[in-house]
A and B are shown apart, each in its own frame.
Chain A
Amino acid sequence: MDRLRLKWLLLDKLEALADRLWPDRWRGATGWLFIAPALLLVGLLLIGLGYMLEYSLHELDLSTYRLRDEYSLGNYAFLIEKPVYLRILLRTLLAAVLVTAITLVLAFPYAYVMVRTPSSVLRKFLLVALFLPFFIGQVVRAYGWLIILGKQGLINGVLVKLGFPTMDLIYNYGAVVFGLVQYMLPFAVLLIVPAITAIGEDIELAAESLGADWLKAFRYVVLPMARPGLVGAGIVVFTLTLTDFAMPEILGGGTTDFIASAIYDSFFQLSNAGLGAALSIVLVTIGSVLVALVFRVTGAGTLSIRDERS
């Protein structure tokens, strides 16, 4: 009885404190309070983007290496005039599409087995294998691939021993895509796992008991129900690839730059903050438009977020 009283007393005190900190008359703004951190984050991002946009509207004065005071669209015109930027952009977009597709294809079975396997040993092994790469940074992993795939690396060493000629496994586009897939795989698995966990095993059994074989159950039940995870993973992998810098730099051999490399070069090699900012704005715009399109096509509900339609 005393303990119950103590609990009530404590709750009363907490309620009084909460009322003092957030009076009842402010109740209408409670929702805003909850999204305040998000607003702060987005606000700071928008301020940064605002600065970027402002910088992008000033050209570099080569006599002082400062941005000119006058506003102009010169940097954007320069990007349009130089086909190299379009090529780099298309190369980046293609890689983002390829990496997203390959990663999802590989991540889904991994996540599925991890969730559904009855063997706790296998589940633990898959979990460790999933989290281990997170302890090794992207740059270290890329260098690891240089060691394994290089001219005198593990693979070529085996090829030579077997009497085959060495192969060019690094410093090309394929190597960059390969490195990115390996880097993105854990992110994708982590995002797909909750979606598969949410699909009750009994639903799959029900489908099979109604005559669907495993493939049909997978095609018509599991995949549609896992869509929120697949879309979420796809968006994350796509946007991370679109903005990646390290993999193309390390595994690309200098001739397969992505748009992030072009931004880096503009800011640091050329000291042209205006051009770098213009490229950044283009990248952010393309990324945002594509993600918005995905939401438009699949609906926000696809991420298990309730919208008008649901």
Chain B
Amino acid sequence: MRRRQITDSRRRTVLKAGTAAVGAMAFPALLRANEKPKELIVRAWGGAWGEALKAGVADPFTAATGIEVRLDFTEDNEIKPKIWAAVDQGRVPPIHVNWDTSTNATISALRGVTVDLSDLSNLEGLLPLSQPVGLEGYPLVNTYAYVYVCAYRPEAFPDGPPESWKVMIDPKYKGRIALYDDGIGFNPIAVIAGGGTFEDIPDNMEPGYEFYRQLKANEPLLGEDADFTTWFQNGEIDVACTISVNARAAQQNGIDVRWTVPEEGCKVDTDGLWIPQGLPANEEYWAKEFINFALSREAQEKWCSMLGLPPVYPGIAPPEDLVGDPSYPTEPADFARLVSVPSPVLVENQPIWFAKFSEIFQG
């Protein structure tokens, strides 16, 4: 018995010593895993978007950690295949964090190139909006919601803001209307404006296509975020479907633009952050820390206030100029006025809708 006790004791001692030795040996590796990289590269959108990320997240993160954050303004659709190719070929991806639309991020998650973010401590307590839809865990995390509003030039609407999206097919505004060049933000709205219902999406998009055909006759301009600001600034357009951030940024730059949510509603969507696979362990660690920081109250408050968008951190008051604005949904009643299509539905149908959109507008 005694002998056995001695044996047990010795075994425990050996195990302790072994664990300590392994721990000591692993210590440098653990240290290396948290070793700070010189910089983190975060893909971002430019203009007001990039400025908000820099001031709200990147700069405070650098102040807290000493790690420089470089914003890479490569177009979101262009960085996607670069990351995919890097991951497939076992190369280090070109960026650490991708600030992306939730739809695009979901596509990358489906492709299996994203790092799981379930272990981020700041996920706890966030609004359900932060959770990706139709995916296991957190291959991405949504950071705020945004609305594709009806932006207009008040001078062209002396009787008040447009009440319906049908203004887009009013011959009075022929050649002076604009949409995104892939129909993003407008596809479900076109269905409702064309006489369909939300329930028609995605199985019966024909009312939307018919609305597009009428809209095509009204000679719209098709472009990207930056184009809308330029077009409003140069007096090229009177009305556009664009993200409220662009309209607000134009307004803050002295361009006479206002926005509204017409009776058919506006499409609400989310953006998110994700990390590509294949980064060195320490860089992945700090990329996660960056996202974790972006989800903190401090970062969410400043970042989203600058963007003028409702954050996923609960209880943050809207900026003064957006209190009561329908493009800044906070209550369930606000969301009820908006049209939200789940990411999996968008991912599955976007190529079909885009093909039809091109067919109509390039015809």
Contact = CB atoms under 8 A, between A and B. Distances in A.
Interface of A: 60, 62-66, 82-84, 87-88, 150-153, 168, 171, 253-257, 262, 265, 267-273
B235 A152 contact: yes
Task: Pick from B78, B234, B358 the residue with the most CB of A within 10 Å.
Answer: B358
B217 to A, nearest CB: 12
B110 A65 contact: yes
A15 B361 CA distance: 67
A182 B142 CA distance: 46
Give the 3 A-B CB pairs with smallest separation, nearest first. A254-B222, A268-B77, A84-B359
A65 B236 contact: no
A144 to B, nearest CB: 14
Given A150-B234, A272-B351, A64 B77 contact: no
A66 B236 CA distance: 40
A192 to B, nearest CB: 34
Interface in B23-37: none
A88 B110 contact: no
Interface in B69-109: 75, 77-78, 80-81, 107-108
6 contacts: A82-B355, A152-B235, A254-B223, A257-B358, A267-B81, A272-B351
Given A84-B358, A151-B235, A254-B223, 10 more contacts: A62-B348, A64-B111, A64-B112, A84-B362, A84-B363, A255-B221, A255-B222, A268-B77, A272-B351, A273-B81
Nearest to A66: B111
Interface SS of chain A = loop
Nearest to B222: A254
Interface residues of B, number: 33
B80 A88 contact: no
Given A64-B112, A150-B234, A271-B81, A87 B363 contact: yes
Contact of B361 (A82, A255, A262): A255
Given A84-B363, A255-B362, A65 B182 contact: no
Contacts of A88: 362
B77 A87 contact: no
A62 B361 CA distance: 24
B285 interface: no
Nearest to A253: B221
B59 interface: no
A3 to B, nearest CB: 58
A152 B234 contact: yes
Among A153, A270, A273, max chain B CB count under 10 A is at A270
B209 interface: no
A65 B78 contact: no
Contacts of B222: 253-255
Contacts of B347: 62
Contacts of B235: 151-152
Nearest to A60: B351
A268 B78 contact: yes
B181 interface: yes
Contact of A171 (B111, B221, B355, B358): B221
B77 A269 contact: yes
A221 B80 CA distance: 56
B49 interface: no
Given A254-B223, A255-B222, A271-B81, A82 B236 contact: no
B272 interface: no
A268 B181 CA distance: 13
A265 B81 contact: no
Contacts of B223: 253-254
Given A65-B110, A82-B359, A268 B221 contact: no
B154 interface: no
A259 to B, nearest CB: 11
B262 interface: no
Nearest to B88: A66
Contact of A254 (B80, B351, B355, B361): B361
B175 interface: yes
A268 B354 contact: no
A87 B347 CA distance: 27
A269 B354 contact: yes
B329 interface: no
A64 B319 CA distance: 40
Nearest to A91: B362
Given A65-B107, A65-B110, A257 B359 contact: no
Given A64-B111, A150-B236, A270-B351, A255 B220 contact: yes
A270 B111 CA distance: 14
A129 to B, nearest CB: 28
B182 A269 contact: yes
Contacts of B112: 64
B246 to A, nearest CB: 16
Interface in B319-358: 347-348, 350-351, 354-355, 358
A24 B156 CA distance: 82
Contacts of A267: 81
Given A151-B234, A152-B234, A168-B175, A265 B110 contact: no
A84 B182 CA distance: 15
